[in-house]
Structure 1
């Protein structure tokens, strides 16, 4: 019999020494020292969790804005997503071009026409 099997057999024995060793092992490995009712396990599980204000999953969460934006623009290019604000901005640029209010090309501005 290996050492582990001897230890397991020893924990099942109801001697005083075995009980004390079992309690000590439970203390070392942060387990409940004595047997508990199932309703008490709920309390232990609640108290063993990190509070939400200290849990990094809640406090240090920042959405991935850049990746989300790029993804939404790709979906918009495929026609699967409608960004009304971007549509509005593009429409304003299109109307400006139709009215002739575009920026002059390099070398065709006001200063070049003075000569």
Structure 2
């Protein structure tokens, strides 16, 4: 059993196979489970709270789930705003269709530096 509202897809769950994408031969099942868990978490937020295409959606922290959030939000037509403590993530965010990118200190959102603003 699983409870997607509480988040437990990283360990195990049973789903109808027709509702899931196939796992590539080169991808370990444990890695696929982590992607499904992170993807389900991001999907829940993006689809459940009345966000409309062209609405601004902020992604704080550009890493595993942050990249998933950016890609999904952009694919859903949202105006994606990324917040990162590293300028090295800028190119990736641009490639994933981020519309705004802000540098943060990691401790505060004050004094953000705009790197991209369309």
TM value normalised by structure 1: 0.22
Greater per-residue strand proportion: 2
Greater per-residue helix proportion: 1
Q: Which structure's CA Rg is the greater one? A: 1
TM value normalised by structure 2: 0.22
Task: Compare relative contact order (CA 8 Å, sep 6+) and give the higher one, 1 or 2.
Answer: 2
